[in-house]
Every structure is written in structure tokens, then in C-alpha cells.
Structure 1
Amino acid sequence: MPEAYERHLVPVFFRPFAADLAARAAALQPLTVLELAAGTGALTSALLTAVPTASVVATDLNEAMVTAGSARESRADWRQADAQELPFEDGSFDLVLCQFGVMFFPDRAAAYSEVGRVLAPQGRFLFNSWGPLASHGFGAAFQEALEQSMPEGAPSFLKDVPHGYTDPAVVAADLAIAGLALATTVEITLDGVAESASSVATGFLTGTPVSAAMEARQDAGTIRASVTQKMTALLGTGAVTAPMTATVYTAHHQV
């Protein structure tokens, strides 16, 4: 999964938003940074380029992602870690960063409590999450193609998880439970550019948990071909561009 994720999804989905989040982080002039759900290091690299003097610890729950990320970006200190049980001392970081990871935390209040614990008194928690699936041109096209190819019941992973945490009021309430206050909320839309619709389809089918649903089916090859064909029909041939919307949040300790 890390290889497919890095090859097909990171350049299209994550690098544009990594540049945005890294610029916002740089404006805070952090010295010690903890990154959660770092994946293969798209944000890690952007951050270290934007703030080369910062000390960055990059973490992910998935050990394979940590292995891949540490090979890509050696300037950071990579650790396998559960965001709900962080292995760091209280008040260790003046900035905690997370790009498109909070949606995957099983207990967000617990994870946010850990963020508050390791965050310095005047520190900031900077993170983003995807908007509704309809606001992500590639994701919406993939889900439509998947549902057409699996009319008996397509996996709803994209709708339920990556695009299932879209209400700032819910985010603010989760943060408040953990003793954090939401300071800013900014919705942004950036364009993703992919080499082809086929590449994006491959990324979704092999670089996300949708791959598990495919592996269990004898007709997986037929479904993959159908999804690829339908995504190409929806997005076009050759290089393709689509808008992607996300919300950027900044939080801090409650006063």
C-alpha cells in the first residue's frame, strides 16, 4: 500500500495541501514539531523545506508508512506511534501538525487529549481534513465509477472516513472535550493534477483500504478495469485536473 499511495495519490492529492499547510506552519515559527499520521512524508518534506531550523518528529501508526517515510525524508526523526497514546513527554512540542489524518482516529477526543498533553502551553495544533466527497473531483468520480461497477454494494470507505469529518462544529466540540479551543477555520480549494484518470483509479484501488475489498473478490480484475474505464470517461483522457476542497483548523489550549 505505501508504494501505491506514494506513486499515485501523494503527488495529486497531498503535495498541494502539504505546501499550504507548511506555509501556515512556517508563519508560526516553530522550533519543535510533532507530525501525526505522517504517511510517506509529503508534509514532512514540505515543512522541513519551509522551516529548515525546526526539529521535526514524524509519526504514523502504520509501520510500513514509517519505513517508507524515513527512507524518503531523513531530515526528520521518524517514530511509529499511536496518536491516542503518544510516547512523548508533556509539553514537548510548540506545534503539532496533522495532514488528513484526524478522520482516521478511532477516538478523536482521546487523540486530541494527547495532542494537548504534548503541546507546550502556548503551542498550536494545526491540521486539515477533507470536505464532503462531492467537493473532491477525483474522489467523487472514483466513487461514482465504483458504485456503477459494483451495483450490488460498493465499499463506502471514501464517504465514511476520509470525507466523513466535514463539520467544523463537530470538530470544535471534539477539541473542546479534550481541553482545546478552535481558533481558526479556513476552507480552501486547490487543484490536483494527475497523469491520467487511470493512475488515480489505481491509487484508490491499491493505495487505500478499498484494496482489501477487492482482494476478496474473484472478479476483482474485472471491477478494476471497469472502474478505470468509467473514471476515464468521467474525467477525460491524458493528464486530468480536478478541484479538491479541504478545511484547515488551528487550535490551542483553552484559556
Structure 2
Amino acid sequence: MPAAYEQYLVPVVFRPFAEDMVAKAAALRPRRILELAAGTGVLTSHLLDIASAPEVTATDLNEAMVAFGSARAPGAVWRQADAQRLPFPGGGFDLVVCQFGVMFLPDRVAAFTDVRRVLAPGGRFLFSTWGPLGTHAFEVALQAGLERAFPVDPPRFFPTVPHGYADPAVVVADLAAAGLAVEEEQELTLQGRAASIADLATGYLTGTPVRAAVEARGDASAVRATVVEEMTARLGPGPVSAPMTAYVFRAAA
């Protein structure tokens, strides 16, 4: 799964936002950075290039992602870690960053509270969430393809998890409950550029948790063909550019 995620999804969906987030991180001139849900290291590799040369500790709950990421961005210290129970002493980081990971946390207030614990006084928490599903053109087309492939009870991973934390007011309330003060909230729309819709569909179907649902419910190759056909009908075969909207938050300890 990490290889498919890195090859097909990172360049199109995640790298544009990583480039924006690292610019925001660099402006804070942090010395010690903790990254949560680092995945395959797309943001990690950018953080290592910040001119102030910060120390970067990258974490992920998934062992396979940690193994892949540590090879991709070996300049960081990599640790398997649960963001709700961080294995670090209090006050050890100037900046905690998380790109598109907080949506996966079962108890976000608990996780945000632990982020506050590991931040030094005056430290910052910088993170992003996806907007509603309808604001992400690639994933609207993908979900339509899944619903066509599974007319009864289609997989609902994308609407309910990646796009399931898409109300900024709820996010701000959770941060406040954890004792973090929001300094900045931005709605950010960037363009994703895919050379091939077929490859992008492969990335979504094999490089995300929807893979297990697809494999359990039917013929994965037939599902892929249906999804590719639907996505192509909506977006074209590629190259194609499509908008993706996220919310970016910066909070202070």
C-alpha cells in the first residue's frame, strides 16, 4: 500500500499541499519539529530542506509507512507512534505538524491535548484537514465510480474519514477543548495535476484503506475498470487538472 500511495497519489494529491505547508512551517523558524501521520514522508522530506536546518522527528501509526518513509527521508528520526499517546517527554518540540492525518484520529481532543503537552511554551501546532468531499474533484469522481461499482452499500471511506472532519467550527472547538488557541485558519484550494486518471484510480484503490473494502466485496480488477471508466467520463483520461480544497490551521500552546 505505501508504494502505490507514494507513486500514484503523492505527486497529484499531497505534494501541492506539502509545499504550501512547509513554507508556513519555515516562517516559524522551528528548531525541533515533530510530524504526526507522516505517511511515506512527502512533507518530511520538505521539512528537512528548511533553511534553518531543524531537527525533524517523523511518526506514523503504520509500521509499513514508517519503514517506507525512513528510506525516503532518512534525514529525519522515524518512530512508530500513536498520535493520541505520544512517546515523547513534555515540552520537547517547537512545532508539531500533521498533513491530512487528524481526520483518522478516534479521539481528536485527546490527541490535541497530547500535542499541547509535547509543545514547548509558545510552540505551534500546524495541520490540515480536507474540506467536504464535494470540494475535491478527483475524489468526487472516485466516489461516483465506487457507487457505480457497488450500487448497494458502496464503500464510504472517503466521505466519512478523509472528508469527515470538514467543519472548521468543530475543529476550532476541539482545539479549544485541548487548551490550544487558534492563531490562523485558512481555506486553501490548490490544483492537482494527474497525467493519467487510470493511474490515479489505481492509487486510490490500492494505496488507501478502501483497498480492503474493494478486495472483500468483489473482483478488484472489475471494480478498477468501472471506477476508471466513471472517473474518465467525468474528468477525461488525462492529463487533467482539478481543484482540491483543504483547511489549514495554526494553533499555539
TM-score by length of 1: 0.97
After alignment, is 235-244 or 19-28 more displaced? Answer: 235-244
Measured in 2, the distance between the counterparts of 1:153 and 1:198 equals 24
In structure 2, what is the Cα distance between the partners aligned to 1:81 and 1:121?
A: 23
Choose 43-52 or 146-155, whichever is displaced more: 43-52
| 1:166/1:218 CA distance change after superposition, 3 Å | closer
Corresponding letter in the other structure for 2:239: A
Q: Any conservation in 1 of the 2:29–2:52 contact (CA below 8 Å)?
A: no
Q: Does 1:83 align with 2:65?
A: no
| Counterpart check, 1:251 vs 2:247 | no
How far the C-alpha of 1:238 sits from its partner, in A, is: 2.9
Instruction: Give the superposed CA RMSD.
Output: 1.0
- Displacement of 1:39: 0.2
> Partner of 1:13 in structure 2?
13
Alignment match, 1:221: 221
| 1:178-193 alignment, distance < 5 Å | 178-193=178-193
Rounded Cα–Cα distance in structure 2 between residues aligned with 1:240 and 1:137: 11
Instruction: Give the Cα separation in 2 of the matches to 1:218 and 1:180.
Output: 45
Fraction of identical pairs, as percent: 62
Cα deviation 1:94-118 (Å, max 9, x = unaligned) = 0000000000011101100110000
Q: Following the alignment from structure 2 to structure 1, what is the Cα–Cα distance between the partners of residues 72 and 190?
A: 25
- Letter in structure 1 aligned against 2:183: A
- CA displacement 1:136-173 (0-9 Å, x = unmatched): 01011100111122111211100001011111110111
Aligned partner letter, 1:77: V
Structure 2 CA distance for aligned equivalents of residues 132 and 240 of structure 1: 21
CA 1:210–1:171: 2 relative to 1, 3 Å: same
Runs of 4+ in 1 over 3 A off after TM superposition: none
The answer for unaligned runs of 5 or more in structure 1 is none
The 5-angstrom pairing of residues 1-255 of structure 1 reads 1-51=1-51, 53-253=53-253
Shift of 1:220: 2.6
Give the unaligned 5+ runs of structure 2.
none
Matches of 1:46 and 1:232, distance apart in 2: 32
Q: 1:218 & 1:132 partners in 2: Cα distance?
A: 28
Q: Please give the secondary structure, in 1, of the residue aligned with 2:49.
A: helix
Report Cα offsets for 1:62-105 as digits up to 9, x if no partner: 01000000000111111100001101010000000000000001
* Residue type of the alignment partner of 1:188: L
Question: 2:91, 2:120 within 8 Å by CA — same for their partners in 1?
Answer: yes
Residues 137, 244 of structure 2: 8 Å contact kept:
yes
Provide the aligned length of Structure 1 versus Structure 2.
253
Distance of 2:225 and 2:43 partners within structure 1: 32
- Cα drift, residue 52 of structure 1: 5.2
Distance 1:97 1:28 in 2: 12
